[in-house]
Amino acid sequence: FSAIRFDDPVPTKSIIHKTHIVGFDVICAGLELTEFETAVALEMRRSAGTGFLLRVSQALEQVAGDYDFVLMDSAPSLNFLTLSSLTAATGVIIPVPAHMLDVDSTAKFLELAGSYMQILNEVGTAAQWDFAKFLITKFEPNDHPQANMSALMRQVFGEDLLLNSVIKSTAVADALTWKQSLYEVQRSRFSAPKTYDRAIESINAANAELEGLFWKAWGRE
């Protein structure tokens, strides 16, 4: 929040944290981000404008030249921060589990988001995305209801749904208990290595498809 607040924002570089992975840095979120919602309401009362939509993009522009990718993990709620993040984004990936309730709630979210984005387009602050895709997550291939829902999603979303899904796996849960990703944990640490193999194969396939989107957006297919 300190980098996107309206009064005396701090330089973005000052809140970046290095990790043990070279080139992989993070900006940690916290409860203070909720203050942005109140700050925007006060700012809109004062200026009656849509300048808040540019707060995230203005903060990221300060460090954009230092990174190939900037990933924003927004909350699944259509608040001011999410709108500002969507305005700053050049591509959008929407993770959706293959369950009726999740698909239905995603549809309602998109319907509301679409109406907001239309309003923003009319005032001249439309988002410019290279792609917007859906990704099935927590997928259990042997679960027939999920398989049927996945097929239905394929019919509804068409090419907007990524071909690869991220499966639900105990290997991911195990890695989280060690506070690591699957790419950091050694295969030998898992009691069922084949479970790890299936999980990492699924993640690699989804990541490769995402990488293809990035290359296409850069014009380097």
pLDDT of residue 116: 74
d(CA 57, CA 151): 36
Please write the tens of the pLDDT for every residue from 160-170.
999 999 999 99
Taking the C-alpha atoms of residue 93 and residue 205, their distance in angstroms, rounded to an integer, is 15
Looking up tokens 């990703």 gives 181
pLDDT of residue 30: 75
Range 187-194 contact pairs with CB under 8 angstroms and sequence separation of 24 or more: none
Element (H, E) at 53: none
**Cβ atoms < 10 Å from Cβ of 150:** 17
Cα separation values, 26 from 70, 71, 137, Å: 9, 9, 23
Per-residue pLDDT reduced to its tens digit, 13-66: 998 999 988 889 998 887 777 777 777 777 777 776 667 777 888 899 999 999
Residue with tokens 């700012």: 43
Task: State which residues of the chain have pLDDT below 70.
Answer: 1, 48-50, 119-120, 122-126, 221
